[in-house]
Amino acid sequence: MTLKDAKTISQQDVLFTSTQKYMNWFAFFSVFPLIKIGGISITFFIFIIIAYKFLKRKKKLFRVTQWTDIFLILFLLFVSIAAILTEESYRDRSVFSIIKLMTQYVYWVVLALFIKTWIYNFNFYKLSRAIFYASVVSILYYAFLNPFYPIFYPNSFAYAIVTAMPLGYYYVMKRFSIPMILLISVAFVLGVMYSGSRTGTALTIFELMLLLSLGNKQLKKASMLTGIFTLPVIIVMFLSVDQSHIRYIKLGLADMLEDYSPKISHTLRMEENILNRDKSLLIRKLMIQKGEKIFEEHPFFGIGLGNFMYYYTSLDIASVSHWLHQSEKNYNRRSSQNSYLMILAEDGIFALLSLLTVFLIILWKGFYYVKSFRNNAEIYIYIPFVALLFYGIILVTVQGALFWLLMGLSLTLTQRKRHLS
């Protein structure tokens, strides 16, 4: 190694050491989105600082080396075309709002590619620690302060914990004793259950079973016990058929959860099929109807970026349910509540297929870590990535730093060259 090479390596070490703290804060506020400047999350400004430091040292922000990178750039291209071809909507939108959202998509894609390119040069353990404490702070904030100054909706809170918690467990497994790990696990379950999110509660328990099974024999036993005692609860909680021999179990669980999670308690007490009266599910079905109509009219490039809530279609509300009583105009102002539906309607089929291709490649190649079941950082990324894909069906997740942070980390699953540490 020449003196010049040694100097270059030393400068790189300084660069990554100096930006590690910014990466940690970025990860923290991706999970706990407390601070906004001019309506924009502080994560955007933190990333601008990181990008400035890299460009100042004449470092590329990212490298395009795989098919996943190309498909992400194609996704951004189709989103950009959709933004340019934006349809007129029945509610006024400023050009500034479209430009702002387009800028955010550019930032998000660059962020994902940046993380995929440079994450091996950062300390993943420190990043995991920041995510863990952000999850803890989020739970405490949601329980005690969110009613006074809300930054979370129940579903968005559950989504943040479900996707962030496994990333934080890389730090938890290495840092804490077994009793403390079990105590932390219980706290996470109770925290998500407190939000009333049935999906979030089920996913949290399932994730914890997988995470605990990565530990030593005692943690594996704890994982088995968790499954034995909680899986029947989840099954009963989601049962839509009222049978006499399980009715008493449902009512007993409802009494136990009444003070802690009224929404789950209400679900357990319902006499009829919960799918017939669940307003949240019924509105999602209505939005799918709206998305289908938009796709029929604008299949290739959609109606334009951010336009789903601003675009009017004729809705057959009665065909979905007689429990939906609001006006057609009111329902047209609703969010799609579905990431894939939103992309299809706003950006078209090409944008959706580009993103789904990235997802499928990560799922396929990342499954290697599940098969090998090695206790390395990658398995703590793959688990929340799968949960993230599922959450995309019931929530708009793509418009946020947490989604793209996890996307960038998940892109490393396709490389298999070295392990994060």
pLDDT at residue 251 in the model: 61
In a domain, 305, yes or no: yes
Beta bridge partners of 40: 37
Domains in the chain, number: 1
Q: Specify whether the CB–CB gap between 128 and 406 falls below 8 A.
A: no
Per DSSP, 1 falls in state -
In a domain, 421, yes or no: no
pLDDT at residue 95 in the model: 79
Q: Is 266 exposed, middle or buried (0-12, 13-18, 19+ CB in 10 A)?
A: middle
The set of residues, in sequence order, having a beta carbon less than 8 Å from that of 195 and lying 6+ positions away, is 142, 154, 155, 157, 158, 261
The set of residues, in sequence order, having a beta carbon less than 8 Å from that of 174 and lying 6+ positions away, is 125
In a domain, 262, yes or no: yes
In a domain, 420, yes or no: no
Helix 42-56 crosses helix 95-118 at what angle (to 10 degrees)? 60
* DSSP states of 208-262: HHHHHTTS-HHHHHHHHHHHHHHHHHHHHHH--S--HHHHHHHHHHHHHHTTT-H
Domain that holds residue 300: 3-414
Look-up of token digits 């290495």: 174
Q: Is 357 exposed, middle or buried (0-12, 13-18, 19+ CB in 10 A)?
A: middle
pLDDT at residue 46 in the model: 97
pLDDT at residue 400 in the model: 92
pLDDT at residue 375 in the model: 62
Please tell me the pTM assigned to this model. 0.86
First to last CA, the chain: 25
In a domain, 21, yes or no: yes
In a domain, 419, yes or no: no
User: What does each of the 421 residues of the chain score in pLDDT, given as a tens digit?
Assistant: 454 444 444 556 789 999 999 999 999 999 999 988 888 899 999 999 999 999 999 999 999 999 999 999 999 999 999 988 876 666 667 778 888 889 999 999 999 999 999 999 999 999 999 999 999 999 999 999 999 999 999 999 999 999 999 999 999 999 999 889 989 998 998 899 888 887 888 889 889 888 888 776 667 766 666 665 565 555 555 544 444 445 555 566 666 566 665 666 666 566 555 555 567 778 888 999 999 999 999 999 999 888 999 888 988 877 777 667 677 788 888 889 899 999 999 999 999 999 999 999 999 998 877 776 566 888 899 999 999 999 999 899 999 999 999 999 999 998 866 677 7
Helix 3-31 crosses helix 124-144 at what angle (to 10 degrees)? 20
